[in-house]
Structure 1
Amino acid sequence: MNREQRTLARAALGLPNPRRQSYRNLFVIAPREPEQEDWNDMVAAGLAVHRTGSADTGPATYALTRAGADRAIAPGERLNPTDFPPIGAH
């Protein structure tokens, strides 16, 4: 995950914020925006998933995988357990 991808990933998580915890996992992007290439690269690397839309048909939405979210957070931040249940939780 490069610097620009990390910036996009953190925006998808709603970080930074005073609680230091993610509160969403969604990024909506208009067709043909340059950031789509970064998101598609993250999808190819298994760091994100593409949910809807395309470069030609309308807004696309992306969400981070657990691996992508783990790479995006800074020391002292945490992921919302609703969006990212603790590993090993039953």
Structure 2
Amino acid sequence: MAETNKFTAEVRNVFGKGASRRLRRSNRLPAIIYGGDEAPVSISLEYIPVFTAQQSQAFYSAPIVLTIDGKEVTVKPVAIQRHPVNGALIHIDFMRA
């Protein structure tokens, strides 16, 4: 069975291009969680652990557990945006599993 990735996320209250750029400069990755019966939630994750994990196939095939305000949410990545030149992660869309 594939290994489960676990990350701690923070809810984002500031949106837009400028806010996302500030997040990236502070080594955070903007993301969103949608699907299921709940409303979409904008979050941010630590960049380095996510970038390292996404280099393995398990990131795309195994469930990912995000801890948000003490609550665990199981998700799977749906869309990953990357920088066109250097391949850095820019944004991830997660869907609730």
Greater share of helix: 1
Question: TM-score, normalised to structure 2's length?
Answer: 0.30
Question: TM-score, normalised to structure 1's length?
Answer: 0.31
Greater share of strand: 2
